[in-house]
Chains A and B, each alone.
Chain A
Amino acid sequence: DAKTTQPPSMDCAEGRAANLPCNHSTISGNEYVYWYRQIHSQGPQYIIHGLKNNETNEMASLIITEDRKSSTLILPHATLRDTAVYYCIVRGNDMRFGAGTRLTVKP
């Protein structure tokens, strides 16, 4: 079973920041937090990952709480093309996907 809990769906206005939350209260010390997204049954696309520190790349920012029990993926300026299912994964020896959050970006 997945070790993460995400809201099933969220909406965001185009051009605004999208903040996607994830709870992972049972995360172990050596497990990473990964985020992927999947657009309409294509292969999942890697977004970002982190262990303890906040991370930023050209796609998004990842904020991990100090106790590591939750995290937030931030898409700074959402576009219509960001509409997708977003998966938060706690990765140890393998990657276990949950149901994800369906993000809909609206004009």
Chain B
Amino acid sequence: ETGVTQSPTHLIKTRGQQVTLRCSSQSGHNTVSWYQQALGQGPQFIFQYYREEENGRGNFPPRFSGLQFPNYSSELNVNALELDDSALYLCASSFGPASYNEQFFGPGTRLTVL
């Protein structure tokens, strides 16, 4: 059974650019959640996708957007990058969105905005 994978591992962008991060969910999982983790802080919920539809969103501006594909993999897009967007971006997958379904995290993508 393959776990959650993310690509790329590391990424360096400049302010104002756009970035796309990718996540492959664990086999059998139809729900993907994205989190942003700034240095020294806990992960912050960005949004969740369930069966290709957004199913909840945290306190992030619209320049953070996402997509889920029919195979349940997912993308996180961030437009107009700001210095404060530098962080570890984590995705997590689960069997469904219900709160009793544990989420399994990928290794993350480290984004640096210069």
Q: Which residues of A contact B (CB under 8 A)?
A: 2, 30-32, 34, 36, 41-46, 49, 51, 87, 91-100
Contacts and interface: CB of A to CB of B under 8 A. Distances in A.
Contacts of B88: 41
9 contacts: A36-B105, A41-B88, A41-B110, A43-B90, A43-B108, A46-B102, A46-B103, A93-B99, A100-B42
Given A41-B108, A98-B42, A34 B102 contact: yes
B4 A43 contact: yes
Given A44-B43, A87-B42, A97-B43, A30 B108 contact: no
Of B42, B103, B105, most buried by chain A (CB within 10 Å of CB) is: B42
Interface in B94-114: 99-100, 102-108, 110
Nearest to A51: B100
Interface string B69-88: 00000000000000000001
Interface residues of B, number: 24
A46 B104 contact: yes
Interface of B: 4, 33, 35, 41-45, 48, 56, 58, 88, 90, 92, 99-100, 102-108, 110
A46 B100 CA distance: 13
A95 B4 contact: no
A8 to B, nearest CB: 11
A94 B48 contact: yes
A4 to B, nearest CB: 10
A2 B35 CA distance: 14
Given A41-B108, A43-B108, A99 B102 contact: no
A42 B100 contact: no
Nearest to B40: A99
